[in-house]
Amino acid sequence: MRNKSPDKSRNLLQTKAQRWVVKIGSSLLTDEGRGLDRKSIGGWVRQIIALRRSGIEVILVSSGSVSAGVQRLGWSQRPANLKERQAAASVGQSALIHTYEKLLRECDEPNEMPIHCGQVLLTHDDLRSRRRYLNARSALLTLLEMNVLPIINENDTVSYNAINLGDNDTLAAVVSNLLDADLLVILTDQDGVFNADPRSNPDAQLLTEVNAGAAMLERIAGSGGSGVGTGGMLAKVRAATRAARSGTSTIIANGRCDNVLLRIRDGEALGTFIHARLPKLDARKRWLAGHLRARGTLHLDAGAVHALKQDGGSLLPVGVTALEGNFHRGDLVLCKDPDGNVFARGLVNWDANVVQRCLGKKSPEIADDPDVAEGVMIHRDNLLIH
């Protein structure tokens, strides 16, 4: 669906964006799960080359490894068993990257510096470590400087439910945060976000522009996926909210539109544009926001909630009333207010057993405890208020 009169601010943001993260879903890459769709992939490769030639840096987050592996192994459907999915990902990932590399060679123009591709496989554990997070950023920036197209996927072969990122929409958002991307483009098999389910409501209207974090977005997005990948529209709007924390706006558009990436570059109002109108976090807080798996929960009294929200203080044990989980120093924990609402997350300085014996105590009471690090339970630099 096309807007006849694109919004000027949207047009400007699209045409000025110089670093894009582009995510392509499994249903587009694998012809609805029937194997790698070489013709369609070639079309996106040609567009990415054109973007690169026009000065736009592109980082590609590509789904499709599991589906490609399923096809190569001759299976009739995506396996539910974790070990079989991991095996399919291993077989399919090599096929996926080989396809991209071959098409880059075929689609490139003579007398131009060739664009190579580089495979980058990530898990949540790679990104929850500050050192590995920064190493990933450095490696990706180096690839861009070397005229290489980074192709990123979750490392499904070694990932499992307790540590995985869950879907490539989330991964694309985390990569956008990692690299301070100007624009996240999520290509799917839908025209964008509608105000109702277009599959059951013929009067559903495409939302051409919305703000990241808008309450109605998650309500109308639903949670259904295509059955080929792991994400749905809900995952996409949540990814847009996450990307907005680094100032990255998001476009959710139909990947089957002719030259969709080039038309977006030229300012055409395709799909749903989600403005990054949220407070921008600094680099360390963005890294903290990328922690998707909490190891425990701390319950706080009203005084502690006020100190964190209004005064910007660190979390002291005197304001903690209870805890959940068996966490260790350096793990991510959630903070809940007296009503049970999660309002913050942070990296805890103490093991759970230390927290338990210090609950409700004032700082002088624990000053001699050898296991109490830094004197605070969570330092304000390692605390993110939602």
Q: Please check if 176 is assigned to a binding site.
A: no
> Does residue 1 have a pLDDT over 80?
no
Q: What is the pLDDT of residue 268?
A: 93
Q: Please check if 341 is assigned to a binding site.
A: no
> Does residue 23 have a pLDDT over 60?
yes
Q: What is the pLDDT of residue 292?
A: 65
CA separation for the pair 299, 301 (Å, rounded):
7
Q: Residue holding tokens 């993110």?
A: 384
Q: Are 70 and 184 in contact (CB under 8 A)?
A: no
Task: Provide mean pLDDT across the span 174-195.
Answer: 92
**Tell me, what DSSP letter sits at residue 314?**
-
Residue 8: what are its φ and ψ, rounded to 5°? Answer: -65, -40
Q: Please check if 188 is assigned to a binding site.
A: yes
Structure tokens at 344: 């913050």
CA separation for the pair 211, 209 (Å, rounded):
7
Nearest to 130 by CA among 290, 363, 306: 290
Q: Please check if 4 is assigned to a binding site.
A: no
In the chain, the domains with their CATH numbers are 8-286 (3.40.1160.10), 294-385 (2.30.130.10)
CA separation for the pair 255, 186 (Å, rounded):
8
Q: Please check if 189 is assigned to a binding site.
A: yes
Give the range among 107-121, 140-154, 170-184 with minimum mean pLDDT.
107-121
For residue 162, give the amino acid letter: A
Q: Are 104 and 117 in contact (CB under 8 A)?
A: yes
Q: What is the pLDDT of residue 370?
A: 83
Q: Are 89 and 119 in contact (CB under 8 A)?
A: no
Mean pLDDT of the chain: 86
Regarding predicted confidence, which is higher, 167 or 173? Answer: 173
Distances, alpha carbon 379 to alpha carbons 319, 322, 359, 376, 383, in Å: 14, 18, 16, 6, 7
pLDDT band at 34 (very low <50, low <70, confident <90, very high): low
> Does residue 184 have a pLDDT over 80?
yes
- DSSP assignment of 66-105 equals HHHHHHHTT-SS--SSHHHHHHHHHHHHHHHHHHHHHHHH
Terminal CA-CA length for the chain: 34
Nearest to 349 by CA among 368, 371, 367: 371
Structure tokens at 73: 């192994």
pLDDT band at 279 (very low <50, low <70, confident <90, very high): low
- Work out the burial of residue 279: count CB atoms within 10 Å of its CB; fewer than 13 is exposed, 13-18 middle, 19 or more buried: exposed
Q: Please check if 39 is assigned to a binding site.
A: no
Question: 81: which strand partners?
Answer: none
